[in-house]
């Protein structure tokens, strides 16, 4: 396993949860500090992925464009809980690897909240959105899953409904409940299921209809500029 993948798993399992827990102890606008810490932590495996070279400006520009596209996919669709942002994030991970998927997810969550409003939930959204991109990058790397529209659509549906969505619901559990027990937590997860289901349907439809065209364009960019050529990630 690559050093960047080991670092990313450690950050996903240990560093970011510790940061989120630390953020719960703070008051005021501390979520800006927590969000910044999450971005810095996610940058570590991304930079490690380049190993002996520095990231090229064009590689960063592509990821910035994908982040902007993900923001637009959340902001431009006027239907509540029916946003294509998860599809764009997951496609970024599929195209460029788990490190890039994680980074695009976290940055797009932070940036899009300037339209919806920042809050204590922002770092949790960055964590959950980034986790979706990371998972896609891992599962589709080296042909573990075929990059076919139907396969990507099914993955997007299941990952949103049973992985990203519950991570976001966990934010509600920690922010809304004074005492957390299974009896108090499960109603929040149940109430979040319809929202997660709607998001999962949007993600699946977006990946089914637009997944292949977007991946083909990103593959051409990789070939033209020699970017992130390792199938196992960046």
> Are the C-beta atoms of residues 88 and 164 closer than 8 Å to each other?
no
Residue 141's nearest CA partner among 36, 53, 73, 229 is 229
Instruction: Check residue 53 and give its pLDDT.
Output: 63
Dihedrals phi, psi of 227, to nearest 5 degrees? -95, 135
pTM summary value = 0.90
A 10 A CB-CB count for 44 gives 16
Instruction: Check residue 226 and give its pLDDT.
Output: 67
Q: What is the total residue count of the chain?
A: 234
pLDDT per residue, tens digit, the chain (234 aa), is: 788 889 999 999 999 999 998 888 877 778 889 999 999 999 998 888 876 566 778 888 999 999 999 999 999 998 999 999 999 999 999 999 999 999 999 999 999 999 999 998 999 999 999 999 999 999 998 889 999 999 999 999 999 999 999 999 999 999 899 899 999 999 999 999 999 999 999 999 999 999 999 999 998 888 876 665 544 444
Query: Cα(108)–Cα(222) distance, rounded to whole angstroms?
Result: 21
Fold of 54-225: Arp2/3 complex 21 kDa subunit ARPC3 (1.10.1760)
Domain ranges of the chain: 54-225
């Amino acid at each position: 396993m690559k050093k960047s993948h080991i670092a990313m798993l450690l950050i996903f399992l240990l560093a970011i949860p510790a940061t989120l827990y630390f953020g719960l102890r703070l008051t005021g606008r501390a979520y800006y500090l927590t969000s910044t810490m999450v971005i810095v932590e996610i940058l570590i495996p991304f930079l490690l992925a380049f190993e002996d070279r520095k990231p090229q400006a064009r590689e960063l520009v592509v990821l910035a464009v994908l982040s902007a596209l993900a923001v637009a996919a959340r902001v431009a669709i006027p239907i509540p809980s029916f946003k294509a942002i998860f599809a764009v994030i997951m496609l970024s991970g599929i195209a460029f690897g788990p490190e890039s998927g994680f980074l695009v997810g976290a940055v797009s969550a932070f940036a899009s909240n300037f339209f919806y409003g920042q809050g204590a939930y922002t770092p949790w959204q960055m964590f959950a959105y980034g986790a979706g991109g990371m998972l896609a990058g891992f599962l589709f790397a080296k042909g573990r899953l075929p990059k076919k529209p139907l396969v990507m659509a099914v993955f997007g549906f299941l990952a949103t409904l049973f992985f990203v969505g519950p991570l976001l619901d966990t934010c509600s559990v920690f922010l809304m409940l004074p005492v957390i027990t299974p009896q108090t937590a499960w109603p929040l997860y149940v109430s979040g299921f319809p929202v997660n289901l709607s998001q999962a349907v949007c993600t699946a439809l977006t990946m089914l209809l637009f997944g292949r065209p977007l991946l083909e364009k990103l593959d051409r960019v990789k070939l033209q500029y020699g970017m992130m050529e390792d199938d196992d990630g960046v």
